A and B are shown apart, each in its own frame.
Chain A
Amino acid sequence: MSGSTEPEIIVLHGRGIVPGVAEGEALVTRDHISGWGGIDSRTGTIVETRHELRGVSFAGKVLVFPGAKGSSGWSNAFHLTRTMGTAPAAMLFNEMTTKIALGAVVTHAPTVTDFDRDPLDVIETGDWVRVDGDKGTVEIRKRRHSDGRPKESWSKPEPPPRSCALT
C-alpha cells in the first residue's frame, strides 16, 4: 500500500475552558510564555530574550505551550491581542494557573487543558489543529510522517471564517 490519501487524524480529549471552535496551524513551544514584557501585543510576537520562539508571532495560530509565567499583566497582554487582532486562534496548555485561566477567558480564543495525552508530545509546529472548546476535543492532522518526511497528502485546509472562532 503506498500512501493513503486520507490524512491521519489524531484526537486528544481534555477539558474545554473557553468555548468555541477554531482551527489553524500549530505553533508549539516547550518554554513557558510570559505575557506582559514577554510578548508584543501589537504583533502577537514573543519578545522574551531567551525564549525559543523569540521573534515568532502566534497571531492566528493554535498556540501549544506548557503554561504561563511572569507578570500579572499576562491576561491584559493577551486581552490586548484580541482587541488588536493579533490573538492566537486557539490555545492548548498543560499547567493551570490564574494567569493562563484568566488570560484565555478574556482572549476569547477556544482553549483546552487537562489532556489525556500531552499535546507537546503529539503536536508539532505546522500541524493543522482543530480545537473544540465546547467539547474539549482537539483534532490534529500531522504535517509529517513520524520519520520526518512530509506527508504527500498534507495540504493546508482553508481557514474557517473568522466568526467561527468567536462563538
Chain B
Amino acid sequence: MRLTEEEQAMYEGRDGPAVQRAMDLLMRYGRALGAERLVETNNVTASISASTPFMRDFAKQKGGMNAVFSEFSLDSPDVVEIPKVKVFTSHVQLGFDPAQAARMGVPEEAVHFYKKGEAFTTGLGVQAMNTCTPYQVGNVPTRGEHCAWMESSAVIYCNSVLGARTNTEGRESAGAAMLTGRIPYWGYHLDENRLGSHKVELGIDVETTADWGMLGYWIGDQVQERVPVVTGAGGRFSKAPNLARLKHFGAAASSSGGVEMYHLVGITPEAMTVEQAIGRGRPVDTLHYGAEERLATWRKLNANATDTAVDYVMLGCPHYTIEQIWEAARLLEGRKVHENCELWLFTPRAIKTIADQNGYTKIIEEAGGHILSDSCSAMSRATPKGTKVVALDSAKQAHYLPAILGLQAWFGTTADCIEAACTGRWDGRLA
C-alpha cells in the first residue's frame, strides 16, 4: 500500500505506540482487502465499551480499559496507553442500559465497571451516543463524506440514504480509524462499487414500517452482499418512505444478507434515474417482489413461533425514532400491558429525553411499559425473566433473537405488537 508522508510518520511511531499499532493494523487489513491506499476520514462510529462479563474479566485481568482497547480495538500484541482520539467518533449501542440495569438483570458490579469504562470512553473524546442510529442524534454525514462506521444498519443508512461513503467496519478497524483519521480506500469509498448489481421491481406498494422490513429481509436474502436498485410499483414510488421505514428496510437487508448499499429510484441521492443507479449499459439481473414474495417473507419471519401466549414485546430495533415512540404512545394511551406480558422500547438517550419532555414516557409507563436506552435485547441478551415468546416489529430482531436467545419470535406491525402487549396473545395477520 502507498502511504503519504503523514501516514508513514504515524506508522513509524511519531505519534506514539497506540497510533503506530493502529497504522500497523490498517496496513494488514488494507493489504488483505487489496486496497492500494488509505483515505482520510473525520467520522467514525465504533464500539469500545466492555459491557459483557467476558470483557469485564479481560479488563480486570489484563490491565483495565487500555488493555481492552489494545486487544479488541487495535489487535495490538501488547498493552499500550490509548491517547485521545483524532477524529469525531460516535459510540454504538452497549450491552445494557446503565440507567435500568436491574430491570435487565444486570448486577450492580457490572454497572460500576461500565461507568468506569464510560469515563474512559468520553475521556478519549468519544461521543457517548450509545446507539445503533447515530444519524438520529447528531452524526449525520454529508453526501460524499468518507466515514468509518460500524453497525450494519447504520452503514447501509449512511451509504444509501445519506450518500456518504463507508464500508462495514469492525471494532478493530474503527478503533484504528479514530486514532489515525484513516481507513482503507476500498469498496464503497470508490464510485464504481456504489453502482447497482440487481434491479428489484416492486409489484405492490410498500406501506408500513413492517412492510419495509419484510422487503429488506427478502432483498438481502436474494442479493446477499450486492447492491440492489429498487423501483416502485409502476416505475415510481407513490410515497417517499420516512426515516423509520428506511431504518427498518436497511437493517433487515443487512441481516438476511450483507447489503451495505442500495438505491431507491427517485428517492435516494445517487439514484435519480435507473441509469444513474446502475451505470450506463451495465447488464444486471432483475428480481420481482410482489404479494407472493411478501407472504413468503412474512411466513419465514414467523416460522419458528407456535405459542400464541406472548411474554415479551420488544420495540426499537434499530433504536426507535421519536415519531415511532409517539405512535406507540398513541396506541397505548389509556390501555394496560397484560399482566403476563412485558413491553420494552429501546431508543437513544437523547431521544428518551424528548420522550420524557413530551409526556410519552409517562403514557408508556402508566400503561405498564418501559422506555430503555443504549441497548436492545439482542445486544444485551436481556429479556424479562422467564421469556419464551417475544413479539417484534423488526425483521432484524426477529432474525437474531431466536438464534441468540432460543426464543420463539412473532413478527408483525407496531400495532400488532402493542395489541399483543395489551392482550398477552399474538393475533398478527398479514393485512
Q: Which of A17, A67, A72 contacts B170 (CB 8 A)?
A: A72
**Contact, CB under 8 Å: A96 / B169:** no
Which residues of A, 32-68, contact B by the 8 Å Cβ criterion? 32, 37-38, 47-49, 67-68
Q: Is A72's CB under 8 angstroms from B402's CB?
A: no
Residues of B within 8 A of A105 (CB): 25, 28-29, 32, 75, 172
* A32-B224, A37-B404 known; A72-B378 Cβ under 8 A: no
**Distance between Cα atoms of A80 and B55 in the complex (Å):** 10
Bound: A17/B32 CA distance, A: 5
**Which residues of chain B have C-beta atoms less than 8 A from A99's C-beta?**
168, 170, 258
Assess whether A106 is interfacial by the CB under 8 Å rule.
yes
A102 pairs with B172, CB closer than 8 A = yes
C-alpha gap A49/B258 in the complex (Å)? 16
Q: Please, which residues of chain A bring their CB within 8 A of the CB of B72?
A: 76, 79
Could you tell me the dominant secondary structure of chain A's interface residues?
mixed
* CB of B173 closer than 8 Å to a CB of A: yes
Cβ of A98 and Cβ of B31 under 8 Å apart?
no
Q: Does A165 contact B (CB under 8 A)?
A: no
Residues 71-85 of A, flagged 1 when their CB comes within 8 A of B and 0 if not, give 111111001100110
When the two chains form their complex, are residues B258 and A101 in contact, meaning their CB atoms are under 8 A apart?
A: no
Among residues 27 to 80 in chain B, which have CB atoms less than 8 Å away from a CB atom of chain A?
28-29, 31-34, 47, 54, 58, 71-72, 75
Do the beta carbons of A80 and B54 come within 8 Å of each other?
yes
B71 contacts across to A, CB distance below 8 A: 83
Expressed in whole angstroms, the minimum distance between the Cβ of B23 and any Cβ of chain A is: 14
CA distance A111 to B71 in the complex (A): 20
Whether A98 and B171, one on each chain, are in contact in the complex, defined by CB atoms closer than 8 angstroms, is: no
B286 contacts the other chain (CB 8 A): no
Q: A75-B170, A106-B172 are contacts. A98–B404 as well, Cβ < 8 Å?
A: no
Residue B135 lies at the interface, judged by CB distance under 8 Å to chain A: no
Residue B389 at the chain A interface, CB threshold 8 Å = no
Q: B403 in the interface, Cβ–Cβ < 8 Å? A: yes
Interface centre among A32, A80, A96, A102 (most CB of B within 10 A): A102
A98 to B149, CA, bound (A): 11
Asked if B155 is at the interface (CB within 8 A of a chain A CB), the reply is yes
B170 touches A74 (CB 8 A): yes
How far apart are the CA atoms of A161 and B204 in the complex, in Å? 59
Say yes or no: is A70 at the interface (Cβ < 8 Å to chain B): yes
A32-B258, A69-B224, A69-B258 known; A37 vs B29 contact (CB < 8 Å): no
Pick the residue among A47, A71, A84, A101 that contacts B29 (CB under 8 A). A101
Q: How many residues of B contact A (CB 8 A)?
A: 41
Instruction: Identify the interface centre among B152, B186, B257: most chain A CB within 10 Å of its CB.
Output: B152
Asked whether B403 lies within 8 Å of A37 as measured between CB atoms, the reply is: yes
A89 at the interface (CB under 8 A from B): no
Contact A101 B33 (CB under 8 A): yes
How far apart sit A37 and B171, CA to CA, in the bound complex (Å)? Answer: 15
Give the residues in chain A near B402, CB-CB below 8 Å. 49
Interface residues of A in 80-129 (CB under 8 A from B): 80, 83-84, 95-99, 101-106, 111
A18 within 8 A of B: yes
From B25, B58, B151, B258, A97 is in contact (CB under 8 Å) with B258
Task: Name the distance in Å between B69's Cβ and chain A's nearest Cβ.
Answer: 13
Partner of B187, one of A15, A75, A98, A103: A98
Q: Identify which of A15, A75, A95 contacts B171 (C-beta below 8 A).
A: A75
Residues of A within 8 A of B255 (CB): 70-71
Residue B400 is within 8 A (CB to CB) of chain A in the complex: yes
Interface check B238, CB cutoff 8 A? no
**Partner of A98 from B25, B54, B186 at Cβ < 8 Å:** B186
Please report the C-alpha to C-alpha distance between residue A101 and residue B33 in the assembled complex, in whole angstroms.
6
Once the chains are docked, how many angstroms separate the CA of A150 from the CA of B169?
43
A72 / chain B contacts, CB cutoff of 8 Å: 149-152, 155, 168-171
Contact A79 B33 (CB under 8 A): no
Q: Which parts of B401-418 form the interface with A (CB within 8 Å)?
A: 402-404
User: A75 — nearest CB in chain B belongs to which residue?
Assistant: B170
In the complex, the answer to whether B32 meets A101 with C-beta atoms within 8 Å is: yes
Give Cα A53–Cα B205 distance, bound, in whole angstroms. Answer: 37
Q: Is B394 positioned at the interface, with any CB of A under 8 Å from its CB?
A: no
B170 touches A103 (CB 8 A): yes
Contact between A106 and B403, CB atoms less than 8 A apart: no
Closest 10 A/B residue pairs (Cβ): A75-B170, A17-B32, A69-B258, A101-B32, A98-B167, A72-B150, A76-B171, A106-B75, A37-B400, A102-B170
Could you pull out 17 A-B pairs where Cβ atoms are within 8 angstroms? A37-B403, A47-B403, A69-B258, A75-B170, A75-B173, A79-B72, A79-B171, A83-B58, A95-B225, A97-B168, A98-B33, A98-B168, A101-B32, A101-B33, A102-B32, A102-B172, A104-B32
List residues of A whose CB falls within 8 A of some B CB: 15, 17-18, 32, 37-38, 47-49, 67-76, 79-80, 83-84, 95-99, 101-106, 111
